[in-house]
Structure 1
Amino acid sequence: MCEVEQIEELQDLYENAPCGYLSISPDGRIAKVNTTLCNWIGKSSADIVGKRLRDLLNVAGSIFYETHFAPLLRMQGFFHEVALDFAKADGETLPVLANAVERRDSSGNVIFTRLAIFKATERRLYERELVEARAAEREARRRLEEVVSSLQAGMAEQVAILMEEKQNSELKEQFVAVLGHDLRNPLAAIDAGVSKMLRDGAWTDSTPLILRLMKNSVSRMSSLIDNVLDLARSRLGGGIVLNLEDQRPLQPTLELVVDEIRTANPQRTITVNLDIARPVRVDHDRIAQMLSNLLGNAVTHGASDKDVRVECVLDSEGNLELSVANAGEPIPPEMVPLLFQPFHRGQVRNNAQGLGLGLYIASEIAQAHGGRLDVVSDRRETRFIFRLAAQEAIAKNTEPMN
């Protein structure tokens, strides 16, 4: 091949290369452009030569090139795979990737800069679709997480509702069964007593005993009804309501309760040690009810040949401690957490009386006062202790004195 043909071959290779070529002079103006790039953007060589590269780019691309890639090129002498957007003659945009390298003389001065331009339409489309797909994935994942979170919350709520309904159902079943059983006995005693008195039609030697049994049965039924009402108040009414007073001494109230239990249980010995030097701000009726429940529990479950002991102390700082203790078999440790739950009577003898609300109501009364009811049980004794710190009555569960 002759030299002329070689020159023409090299010229054709430059003009019709599968990529665009640009040569930029040191002053930043385009000195040469090949036919491939001219055809891509729909402009002639005369339209391009003498322009600056930014003049061929769209507005956004021009700003980005001048602020980012031109300084990078001057600093390091090259850049690779820079994404640019050429403005075509028809107003459309041509996405490209550009590689640039400077050619310098021995002194380091720029002779010219060469740029190779590659079409990136498909690649840019793929990248855009990839970005959109990732954004769609993130959005889908966010929505999925919201759905899952909503479902979990809904399931948790449904489970809570079902558990509450189950507990309420079990509570109602226990309530009906225990109430029916425990009211039947005193009603039967009253019915038998009335029947006998009506049948005999006169006062007999057994009449006082029958009347006493009937009175005790009425008292038991009244106590059962009071406990049921207190259960309803504590579950539905926000707690047991108190009627606090701080002028009346507490000791006579406690002594009256002890006398009542002694009268009902003459075969049992109840020892009392009370040291209450001044009035205490409490609801006397509720404290009496709590002591009555604790004493009744001690008489029922304590050893019949051992004393039941009642102690109450008010220290110099105003802290009150009321306890009821009895001897007998200790409470099994696994049953202690259940003692203050409603309808729980534990491992008691089959003829035990009551709804299993006594300790629950006592605990609610203690909490309503701002105190607490604890139990300590070992082989020596079982002791229930009500502790009330000074000035700890809860105002929200109180009613003013009339």
Structure 2
Amino acid sequence: MSDGELIEDLEDLFENAPCGYLSMWPDGRIAKVNATLCDWLGRPREAILGKRLRDLLNVAGSIFYETHFAPMLRMQGYFHEVALDMVRADGSIMPVLANAAERRDTSGELLFTRLTLFKATERRQYERDLVEARAAERDARRQLEDMVMSLQAGMAEQVAIVMEEKHNSELKEQFVAVLGHDLRNPLAAIDAGLGKILRDQQWTDRTPVILNLMKNSVSRMSALIDNVLDLARSRLGGGILLNRDEARSLQSTLEMVIAEIQAANPDRTISTRFQIARTVRIDHDRIAQLFSNLLGNAVTHGAPDKDIAVDCTVDDAGNLSLSVANAGDPIPQEMVPLLFQPFHRGQVRSNAHGLGLGLYIASEIAQAHGGRIDVESDQNEIRFILRLPAQ
């Protein structure tokens, strides 16, 4: 067999293997994918190259990727048999089991990450059947309870009860998603890091990296808990609670948030313009939370080589306008309403992180103050604008 024939055989083995192959650059973008995976997904190769793995996953899979898959891969350099749901071109779901391993050079720099993907339709179908059977049992029990209750009250009262139960059920499902994917997985990363440190019982070059990942996991969990509590208050009718204060300086509040974001992202440039004619009666902690979400979004989704512009104006009457602008790909107009809905962020931007509660909570804070957040997007920049009327 000639060398040419051997190379051709190896290429054929990669392209037509009985499993999916793909490799990713250090920035997470897909560098190579085999024909098998393209056929499974019903997507041409050019529609996959340059994407990120989370772009090929459903919402739950994307959450799992951000909070478990990526941190564990960075921490230990590999993982085995991670269950994910990939989305085919026709919108159907393809369950897979994924294995991954990083490839680094002699200096430890990441060159690329390789993944193998195996179909897990039968295994996942069994799991789904089990879940559906339990759900059917719960539904049957709920229906029986509803029948008993219907004998004790009139039809109008029963309709109200059913609607309330549906609302609470949806809220509980959202909480289960948060607890199941976003709180448990950072805890797993912390547990793995502690296990490695306690097992080695010595300081190595990797120890600061592991400790930093653990710290980030704790911060992410704290932010998730705060957002979940705010979501619960707003959905259960309590609304966002405010503690208004007219004595504090709005500019100082905003500069504190800018300093925190700048410290975490020293390579980004944030320009500011303040024209604040008078004090305003607002909840400074809530406005700081809102502003941190807007500025954090600009850092995450904006062009890394372009400035982020912050502009705050308070006129003599006390009307407040606060805008955060960044360069980046425009947001389609039909997708703008989804920005402020909980758990919908991933449907709007392919590089979205987390659950999409940040902008929802920011919008709720604006509404609690009697204001709103507007979005302006064109080919040059994306601008989020908080507008609060005089209090």
Normalised to the residue count of structure 2, the TM-score between the two structures is 0.55
Q: CA deviation at 1:345?
A: 0.9
Aligned residues: 238
> Contact 2:301–2:351 (CA<8 Å) still a contact in 1?
no
> Partner residue of 2:271?
271
> Contact 2:294–2:384 (CA<8 Å) still a contact in 1?
yes
* Amino acid in structure 2 at the alignment position of 1:387: R
Residue 341 of structure 1 pairs with residue 361 of structure 2: no
Q: Distance in 2 between matches of 1:376 and 1:156?
A: 44
Change beyond 3 A, Cα 1:351–1:382: closer
Q: Distance in 2 between matches of 1:213 and 1:276?
A: 39
Which residues of 2 match residues 252-401 of structure 1 at below 5 A? 252-347=252-347, 352-391=352-391
Look up the SS of the partner of 2:365 in the other structure.
Answer: helix
Which range moves more in the overlay, 375-384 or 258-267? Answer: 258-267
Q: Distance in 2 between matches of 1:350 and 1:193?
A: 29
Change beyond 3 A, Cα 1:351–1:235: same
Q: Distance in 1 between matches of 2:213 and 2:206?
A: 11
Residue 207 of structure 1 pairs with residue 207 of structure 2: yes
Identity %: 78
> Contact 1:339–1:346 (CA<8 Å) still a contact in 2?
no
> Contact 2:290–2:365 (CA<8 Å) still a contact in 1?
yes
Look up the SS of the partner of 1:245 in the other structure.
Answer: coil
Q: Distance in 2 between matches of 1:263 and 1:161?
A: 50
Which range moves more in the overlay, 154-163 or 316-325? Answer: 154-163
Residue 224 of structure 1 pairs with residue 224 of structure 2: yes
Look up the SS of the partner of 1:294 in the other structure.
Answer: helix
> Partner residue of 1:113?
none
> Partner residue of 2:234?
234
Look up the SS of the partner of 1:298 in the other structure.
Answer: helix
Q: CA deviation at 1:382?
A: 1.5
Which residues of 2 match residues 127-142 of structure 1 at below 5 A? none
> Partner residue of 2:131?
none
Q: Distance in 1 between matches of 2:387 and 2:353?
A: 27
Q: CA deviation at 1:255?
A: 1.2
Change beyond 3 A, Cα 1:213–1:315: same
Q: Distance in 2 between matches of 1:347 and 1:303?
A: 20
Look up the SS of the partner of 1:385 in the other structure.
Answer: strand
Q: Deviations over 1:45-91 (max 9, x none)?
A: xxxxxxxxxxxxxxxxxxxxxxxxxxxxxxxxxxxxxxxxxxxxxxx
Q: Deviations over 1:350-396 (max 9, x none)?
A: 674322111111011111112111111222222111111212xxxxx
* Amino acid in structure 2 at the alignment position of 1:284: H
- Alpha-carbon RMSD across the aligned residues, in angstroms, is 2.6
Q: Distance in 1 between matches of 2:315 and 2:262?
A: 27
Normalised to the residue count of structure 1, the TM-score between the two structures is 0.53
Look up the SS of the partner of 2:375 in the other structure.
Answer: strand
> Contact 1:249–1:278 (CA<8 Å) still a contact in 2?
no
Structure 1: state its 5+ residue gaps.
1-153, 392-402
* Amino acid in structure 1 at the alignment position of 2:343: F
**Greater Cα radius of gyration, structure 1 or 2:** 1
Q: CA deviation at 1:348?
A: 5.5
Q: Distance in 2 between matches of 1:302 and 1:189?
A: 28
Look up the SS of the partner of 1:375 in the other structure.
Answer: strand
Q: Distance in 2 between matches of 1:333 and 1:164?
A: 33
* Amino acid in structure 1 at the alignment position of 2:335: M
> Contact 2:275–2:312 (CA<8 Å) still a contact in 1?
yes
Q: Distance in 2 between matches of 1:253 and 1:204?
A: 39
Q: Distance in 1 between matches of 2:299 and 2:315?
A: 28
Q: Distance in 2 between matches of 1:179 and 1:249?
A: 37
Structure 2: state its 5+ residue gaps.
1-153
> Contact 2:278–2:316 (CA<8 Å) still a contact in 1?
no
Q: Distance in 2 between matches of 1:188 and 1:304?
A: 31
> Contact 2:277–2:316 (CA<8 Å) still a contact in 1?
no
> Contact 2:278–2:315 (CA<8 Å) still a contact in 1?
no
